[in-house]
Structure 1
Amino acid sequence: MPLVYVLASRLLAGAGIPALPIKGPVSDAYALRQRHSSVDVDVLIAPSDVDAACRIFRSVGFEFATIHEGTRILPEHSVVLEHGQWPCQIDLHWLFPGIFADSQAAFEALYQRTAEVAIAGVGVKAPDFVASLLITALHYLRDAPKRVEELRHLEERVASLSQADRRDFATLAVSVGATYAVQPLLPSCSLGGDVSKRQRRSWDLRVAYADSPLAPLVAVLAGLDRRPSAFWRMFWPSNRALAATHPELRSARTRLRHRLRRLRRGLSNLIGSARGAAPSMPARRPPLQRNARSRQR
């Protein structure tokens, strides 16, 4: 996996495309998580460079992976590429969930904060410690209910920050519009920042409904995704999406059978969730504060 991080960084740098490897071995280098193998490669680029970057990866054998046509609580933020001879995917981000500033401006703010990080023994340009802390925090906070241990580790790292680094972290969060999402890590600080009511609600719903089959319905009912076709495509995918995810479905009959099974399963999940399996909306008390209180008991 680290070698693919190096490959991705070298390919993009060779094409003159500014890029930042994120998460994975970068988080390991700064001790922002318990060290473990990553399942994919994450790279952040400017939204203006997405098409060019995809062409670069496709020129060396990567292809687009699963096509997502369903509804989303948070805006689409990445494209996934895979290679038949590499056992991992490249997640090419032009935006990171929890960052609500203009995506181009946010990338430029993060790209101003770089340092060389050793990945697979090779020096790679990556976000500096504070920027990597912000990205790692957003990654874990969006799945807060199931990331208790990871967030506890981050809480300890934040508690050990110098006052200068703490101010630096808060300033960066404001500049990229991530103040609302990272507030649980700095509960005693008033971060300020310009995050709209809609953005706050979308983040809260993403945290609450991350793994729920009701997530698409919630997105529609909350007005976060106003495309009726997107909701329908979740149950009845297009021929293009099926060709990408299930190339074995070659005839109209097999595609119809697959769609009917998917529709039946999806409706069953929705009905089951509506009867009581859906998670409730969390109170806006930072999850890290709750963890700290439980440890004191």
Structure 2
Amino acid sequence: MQQWFAAGNGALDLSQSDTVAREYEIAVTPIVPGPPVLLFGEGAVVWRQLATAEAPPLRHDEGALAIVHDLEQMGLAVKAPSHPARLSALPRPWLSSFRHELVYALLQRVATAAGIDMVFIKGPTLRAQGLREREHSGDVDCWVLPGDDIRLAAAMRSWGWTPLILPFTGTTIGHSLTLVAGEWGCAIDVHTSFPGMRAHPDEAFRLLRESAEPRSFAGVRAWTPPRDVHAVLSALHDMRPHNGVAPSDHAVEKASTVLCAAGRGVVTVIDRLDAGYVLRAPLERSFAEVANRYNDSLPPRDWGLRMETASSLRHLKTLKFVPVRYRLRALVRLVWPTVETMRIALEDPRATHRTVFFARVKRVGVSARKLTARR
């Protein structure tokens, strides 16, 4: 008798969920590119049996056999017990959005298949660690080694995510690459560094990966930072300038609160990431006795740029930090973004080349006026 096994890039038991119609019992991401499949009725019964190794007696049940063949065609069942996408568990969602949890699982599976080390940061894990009140995040954040962001973006294209290629994408200047969501409705930010630290991106990721803890998303094993490391990242996020505006007192207090919640272990993490310059103010409120040791800390090399209010001028100043071999490409992207990038900016994936051309011309004019006004 032929044996089949449940498969997918993540699956969740929705039988007790109030976020979907009552008849849907299981959500599974197939092993072939496509959106999650919602199973109900006999299809859900059979898939659940395959996932729990209680295979139905297919030789004597033609109805079940037909369902299994359909599941196989949909990328939800396999015949090989050692298949990397085999699933043998069906957990209930722990995120408020089951679709977001499936994105975490899918991203981890794609990264693993591509040989990419990855750690998920921010988002609902902060809530699970008692570091923030808000549970849901609108996007998914992960961290990889420099260069792996481009590889991961390429691997996610077939699943419906489009990379937002910016002037400094692929250099050491930009800290993350945004993957714009298609029908999944959940953007992904792929970090290769984090604003506010002086540690080299490779060293920072090594600390992150070596200390990471396992966490399951939709039945797929992934990795997230330990509490003290995550608190430092959260504080750095709060202290980041926005459009050249320094963090508010509320932001400093928020960063102080999360550092205090994680305990004194954050000081060691701050030292290893060389983030004392940016976090000195919140440390004065959370651990005043150690804050003075950072009085002479040096700022990250791009911190002055982040305090520049004019985006056009900030971009031009940033060029001097770009390796020489990438400067021409970055300058071209600044002045004349790719067609794909402009379509994303226009929120029109079908924008004609004529529309894109005039949008580019308008963008150049706006930037020129801003630069002229600064003189």
Normalising by structure 2, we get a TM-score of 0.58
**Match among 179, 182, 207 for residue 279 of structure 2:** 182
Residue 266 of structure 1: aligned partner: 367
Alpha-carbon displacement from aligned partner over 1:104-125 (angstroms, at most 9, x marks no partner) = 2221111121234466797742
Aligned residues with identical type, % of pairs: 29
Counterpart position of 1:285: none
Please say if residues 179 and 187 of structure 2, whose CA atoms lie closer than 8 Å, have aligned partners that are also in contact.
yes
> CA shift at 1:23, angstroms?
0.9
Corresponding residue for residue 284 of structure 1: none
**2:336 equivalent in structure 1:** 236
**1:142 pairs with one of 240, 259, 267:** 240
Distance 1:54 1:209 in 2: 29
Q: Deviations over 1:54-104 (max 9, x none)?
A: 344234x13433221269xx8122222234221121111122222332222
The answer on whether the counterparts of 2:236 and 2:255 sit within 8 Å (CA) in structure 1 is no
In structure 1, the residue matched to 2:126 is 27
SS of match in other structure, 2:182: coil
Q: CA 1:50–1:121 in structure 2 vs 1: closer, same or farther (change >3 Å)?
A: closer
Residue correspondence of structure 1 range 90-129 to structure 2 within 5 A: 90-117=188-215, 124-129=222-227
Q: CA offset at residue 37 of structure 1?
A: 2.9
AA aligned to 2:237 is H
1: distance between equivalents of 2:213 and 2:315? 39
Of stretches 136-145 and 7-16 in structure 1, the one that deviates more from structure 2 is: 7-16
CA gap of 1:231–1:156, structure 2 versus 1, over 3 A, is same
Output aligned runs, 1:1-297, within 5 Å: 1-13=100-112, 16-47=115-146, 49-59=148-158, 61-69=159-167, 75-117=173-215, 124-143=222-241, 145=246, 148-160=249-261, 165-166=263-264, 168-187=265-284, 188=288, 189=290, 190=292, 200-206=300-306, 208-209=307-308, 212-219=311-318, 223-225=320-322, 227=327, 230-231=330-331, 233-239=333-339, 241-242=341-342, 245=345, 247-251=349-353, 253-272=354-373, 274=374
Q: CA RMSD in A?
A: 3.7
CA contact (8 A) 1:19 1:43 kept: yes
Which segments of structure 1 move beyond 6 Å, counting only runs of 4 or more? 120-123
- Mapped to 2, the partners of 1:49 and 1:232 lie a distance apart of 23
Aligned mates of 1:151, 1:2 — CA distance in 2: 30
Partner-residue secondary structure (3-state), 2:300: helix
Higher percent of residues as helix: 1
Amino acid at match of 2:228: V
CA distance in 2 between counterparts of 1:20 and 1:194 reads 31
- 1:25 shift after superposition: 0.9
Q: C-alpha separation between the residues in 1 aligned to 2:296 and 2:363?
A: 41
Which amino acid is 1:171 matched to? T
Q: Give the deviation of 1:130 after TM superposition.
A: 0.6
Q: Report the AA paired with residue 6 of structure 1.
A: A
Cα distance in 2 for partners of 1:110, 1:193 equals: 26
Letter in 2 for 1:158: L
